[in-house]
Structure 1
Amino acid sequence: MKGPSTGGISVTITGFGFTGATLVRLGPNGTNFVIVTDTLITAKTPPGTGTVQVTVTAPTGTSTQTVLFTYTSLPTLSSLNPTSGPTSGGNTATLSGANLSGATSVRFGATPATILTNTANQITVTAPAGPPPSVNVTVTTPATPAIRCPTPTSRRPPSAICPRTPARQPAATPSPSSAAT
């Protein structure tokens, strides 16, 4: 299991003997949880760092199996250059930020771009064709399904000035599930 260091994602823990459980921990941090059945718990991850052990404390004791959760650094986007391009697409755009390694997709609105290069701090893409006005640009990485660029790109002639509108917020929240016993 893995998720962002900010916590807050749902995880599913399976096993047995969960009836009457009083505590679910990810590392040293307890978290909110719901006992669904004697063999199933859902929990929200607390904030944390690194790789930690997941444990459940029930009337019969605390689990001792090695079930791990890895906290990942969330990707962030700080800039998009250029901030405008032709409606026919085909231009190269560079997205800068942090924790961008392994990007699995970049979308201009709902349309995927072609990823040319990808490093921890920068992604270069070929922008897809699309209609005018501005569209949000989102990046999907293994750490989170989608993050939005703080500046939408606009489908205007390259000489046009694109308004800058800050909007740094996840477009989706991951919900991994894994088995713990």
Structure 2
Amino acid sequence: MPISPNQGSTGGGFPATLTGTGLTGATMVHFGNKTATITATSPTSVSVVAPSGAGVVDTTVTTPGGTSSPVPFFYVPPPVVVDVSPSSGPVAGGGTVTVTGRGLATADSVLFGDTAVTPTVVSDSELTAVSPAHATDEVSLVVTARGGTATASETFAFVPAPTVTGFSPLTGLPAGGTLVDITGTALATTTGVTFDGTPATFAVLSDTRVAAVAPSHATGAVTITVTTTGGSDAAPGVFLYIL
């Protein structure tokens, strides 16, 4: 006699259905030593609201004709969200977000504010989700699994794409080491600065300024690109490596 679903939250309160034969007049359904609330019966099924519980329990149906053979039911603890990385993403959507915690193996939904997406479960302690499109805002992030729901302790921010408006100085030595002041907008979530694709050490000074140390490079003109959790933008003009 199968039960569907065959796992659920330790807190109980969810619907479940047992199917089989000879179930007419079912009077009692047990989950371990606890009694479920019967909501509907037929000759081939019994629908119930499951009680709270823990671990693996035997589920049985009692009718005037006797009690069924036990069917295992698995109680799942509620999920726990420990970290969300990155904690922001582009307003256009499409950012990959990694959620770590516990009890994530049965996760089937990640809610960004009011928008739900289907996650990819990596393990019981990790899942990934692709952030949806959303107006600039900070929203709650909620993971739903068979064991219940968990809300991240910090909000998830939808941020606009960056705009790089300029940088100074305009030149540096091929050996690298020149401190370059980059200006623009929406730079607070900067995750990388490159000089023609070569990563540079950087520090975020504000939402409008990032300082980067030019890496070593052959002489010539290169493009400076800033990448944030909201997207990427190339600075106007070129940075010259000169002797």
Task: Pick 1 or 2: higher relative contact order, CA cutoff 8 A, min separation 6.
Answer: 1
Amino acid across the alignment from 1:153: F
Residue of 89, 101, 104 corresponding to 1:100: 104
What residue is the counterpart of 1:63 in the other structure? Answer: 68
Distance 1:13 1:111 in 2: 29
Contact 1:89–1:126 (CA under 8 A) maintained in structure 2:
yes
What residue is the counterpart of 1:137 in the other structure? Answer: 141
Name the SS for the 2:99 alignment partner: strand
Is residue 126 of structure 2 the alignment partner of residue 122 of structure 1?
Answer: yes
Contact 2:23–2:45 (CA under 8 A) maintained in structure 1:
no
Is residue 43 of structure 2 the alignment partner of residue 42 of structure 1?
Answer: no
Q: CA deviation at 1:22?
A: 3.2
Higher alpha-carbon Rg = 2
Contact 1:113–1:128 (CA under 8 A) maintained in structure 2:
no
Rate the CA distance shift 1:124–1:24 in 2: closer, same or farther, 3 A. Answer: closer
What residue is the counterpart of 1:155 in the other structure? Answer: 158
Rate the CA distance shift 1:68–1:89 in 2: closer, same or farther, 3 A. Answer: same
Distance 1:146 1:3 in 2: 12
What residue is the counterpart of 1:177 in the other structure? Answer: none
Is residue 20 of structure 2 the alignment partner of residue 2 of structure 1?
Answer: no
Contact 2:79–2:148 (CA under 8 A) maintained in structure 1:
no
% identity of equivalent residues: 29
Amino acid across the alignment from 1:159: A
Quick check: which one's strand share is greater? 2
Is residue 14 of structure 2 the alignment partner of residue 13 of structure 1?
Answer: no
1:43-77 per-residue CA deviation (whole Å, 9 max, x = no partner) reads 1111122222211222222222x422222222222
What residue is the counterpart of 1:77 in the other structure? Answer: 81
Name structure 2 gaps, 5 residues minimum.
1-5, 160-185, 190-243
Name the SS for the 2:91 alignment partner: coil
What residue is the counterpart of 1:25 in the other structure? Answer: 30
Q: CA deviation at 1:16?
A: 1.7
Contact 1:114–1:128 (CA under 8 A) maintained in structure 2:
no
Contact 2:117–2:130 (CA under 8 A) maintained in structure 1:
no
Q: TM-score under structure 2 normalisation?
A: 0.51
Q: TM-score under structure 1 normalisation?
A: 0.65
What residue is the counterpart of 1:171 in the other structure? Answer: none
Distance 1:71 1:125 in 2: 25
Rate the CA distance shift 1:22–1:86 in 2: closer, same or farther, 3 A. Answer: closer
Distance 1:22 1:111 in 2: 39
